[in-house]
Amino acid sequence: MEAPQSNTREYREMREKYHKVFEIIKYIPINEAREVIAMLYDLRPVAEMQLEVDENQEKELSARMETLTHSGLSVEISEFPHDSERTDVKSLVFYISKDPQLAREVKKLCEESVFPPLEDFHRRYGQLMGFPQTAIDAYVARSCLSQEEKDTLGFPKDYEGGPCVIPFGISRSHYAEEAKYLKKYFNALKESFPDTYGTTLSGESLEKYKHEVEAFLVKDFSE
């Protein structure tokens, strides 16, 4: 999938078509909001939002999901057992896509009481999430880069108190190609969340993180 480039007709049409979706993004927890942004930018076929909600929050979410469907997006919902001891809380997963068939497929895949062979599950799930095939293969083979290796190569770090922003494990053999995808992803987050770059960080940690993202965006990984 190819993300629309800023200042192009495709980009302006995308922002206009989904302008109401962009307006409600700020009401969605940042982890889930990043997924929706990546889907809108055609960086992943399906966005997956996992939320624990009480009755009032569920009503608010239902209204926001209607905004998504009215904007032409497909929304499928699953309910799973939740970890909280509260009996008034539900654990809901929303599968959101521009393609109704794909939203239904990932819902079915995740709801299956008897999963397919784990390797098959991870491969198809990774594809539905839009991850590079090389990254999926490395994850299945358990050969992704370590955090220390990613730091050495210049990938943005995950900071204590901030969510994991890079959405997949990075392979040792094809990290340069995967970095191209991630540059589009970080640019989408930067454009959509110019103050936070799509994180919950603040203060010095946020400024340090922004600096690392900017350095990553201009780094030549083909060297």
Model pLDDT for residues 187-204, shown as the tens digit of each residue = 999 998 999 998 888 899
- Please report whether residue 125 resides in a domain: no
Report pLDDT digits (tens) over 69-87.
Answer: 999 999 999 887 666 566 6
C-alpha 150/C-alpha 201 separation (Å) is 20
12 & 65 share domain: yes
71 & 143 share domain: no
Domain count across the chain? 2
1 & 108 share domain: yes
Q: Which residue has the higher pLDDT, 114 or 118?
A: 118
Which residues form the domain of 14? 1-117
pLDDT at 183 over 90: yes
- Paired tokens of 18: 């989904």
8 & 111 share domain: yes
Backbone angles phi, psi at 67, to 5 degrees: -60, -40
pLDDT at 89 over 60: yes
pLDDT at 4: 57
Report pLDDT digits (tens) over 152-163.
Answer: 999 998 765 555
State pTM to two decimals.
0.87
